[in-house]
Amino acid sequence: MAKKALKVLYIFAGERKKQEKLWRSGEHPDTCFLGLNHLKNFGVEAEYLENKTINYIRRKNFNLANLFYLFKLKNYEVVFLGGSLSLVFLAKVIFKFSKPKFVFFNTYFTNLLNRNRQGLKAGIIRRAIGSLDAIICPSEAQRNFLIKEGFDENKIFFIPTGVDVDFIGSYPAPKTSKDFVLSVGKDMGRDYKTLIEAVKNTAVNLKIVALARNLTDLILPANVSCQSLPFLELLPLYKNCQFVVIPTKKQGNFNGSDCSGHLALLDAMASGKAIIASERETLADYITDGVHGLIVEPENSEALKKAILKLLENHELAAEMGRRSREKAERLLSTKDFAENLAKIFKKIAE
């Protein structure tokens, strides 16, 4: 008799139905599903719940929307989520659910704990994190931090985030100008101030894809443009740019996510591009200085300028770094790889 597949509920931070429809028609990458669509290949039956009511409430209050799931949880053996510690606190601490097991995709615990060191809120946060059955960290630095904070190391796992290497790799590059450098990201950990300072008074054609909030009080010189784009309009820029720059603030700045820049980094790698990135522990598992790109000191405009000009003046070096980036993404960082590693954790804690 075949072993019954493990039932897993995904709770996403945002809507997924539209992306799923596009993905099924071959018009969108599967990166945003965090491996869900591949789990059946590894003995896991995973699904997410979404309807008009949930989406309406979610737009008003994310945590309130997640209360809807409280009454659905016991239909599953594992719940996988990346937000709403309030739901975890209710289910695990207040109601003391033994089923399902909770697995958290950790993108912000380092900054969250550093911002909340004392008081009632800090205590609730620590209780919620401590009650989790497993924590998936997209970097070794996050795992090490949580262990130093006193959380059970046997529950904390490092799994590199996956990217839809096949979709991005097969997407055709537009036959348009390739004379620009690209920077992408709406996370508040981005440091566009330093980037703009670095290219000011140069001939560098810089395109930034971000939100208006990321450039508040910044004046753009004539060689810099900024816009907000959906991914399918952003992807041609990834494919056509000379390389990608990911400037982030120093790690002591607790704005944004712990891994600020790593999703843009993955998209750039899958696109076969060299990357210039600010030094950050959470990116060290993905990019190696001098191999996949260049690492520079955070908030140092001169160092960033030097790195940008170096790659602009050496197209062969940039192309070789881009080739290595793509090769690493294909070998280790696909969404299938992520799903396979995740399935092992799900089964381990369920058993």
Sign (positive/negative) of CA torsion 195, 267, 161, 256?
Answer: positive
Range of the domain at 133: 6-162+335-350
Residues 149 and 177 in one domain: no
Residues 276 and 203 in one domain: yes
CATH number, domain containing residue 29: 3.40.50.2000
CB-based contacts of 73, cutoff 8 Å, min separation 6: 9, 79, 91, 97, 99, 100
Give the integer Cα–Cα distance in Å for 271 and 329.
9
> Going edge to edge, which strands form the sheet with 101-105?
44-48, 6-11, 78-81, 101-105, 134-137, 156-158
> Going edge to edge, which strands form the sheet with 181-184?
224-227, 206-209, 181-184, 244-246, 275-278, 293-296
Amino acid, res. 201: N
pLDDT at 234: 96
- Which two tokens mark 269? 């790698």
Residues 12 and 79 in one domain: yes
In a domain, 100, yes or no: yes
- Which two tokens mark 303? 């160092």
Residues 297 and 203 in one domain: yes
Residues 40 and 91 in one domain: yes
* Residue linked to tokens 């720059």: 245
Closest CA to 318 of 258, 284, 264, 271: 271
Give the integer Cα–Cα distance in Å for 338 and 159.
7
Residues 215 and 275 in one domain: yes
pLDDT at 232: 92
pLDDT at 65: 74
Longest dimension (CA), the chain: 70
Q: Mean pLDDT per 10-residue run, the chain (351 residues)?
A: 82 90 95 97 94 78 76 92 90 92 96 94 96 98 97 97 96 84 94 97 97 93 96 95 96 82 96 97 95 97 98 97 98 97 96 84
Our count of domains for the chain comes to: 2
Residues 268 and 119 in one domain: no
Give the integer Cα–Cα distance in Å for 136 and 258.
13
Residues 274 and 288 in one domain: yes
Q: Find out whether 229 and 209 touch, Cβ atoms under 8 Å.
A: yes
Residues 276 and 265 in one domain: yes
Q: Find out whether 93 and 127 touch, Cβ atoms under 8 Å.
A: yes
pLDDT at 51: 79
Residues 96 and 139 in one domain: yes
Q: Find out whether 271 and 238 touch, Cβ atoms under 8 Å.
A: yes
Residue 93 vs residues 17, 178, 277: alpha-carbon distances, Å:
31, 54, 40
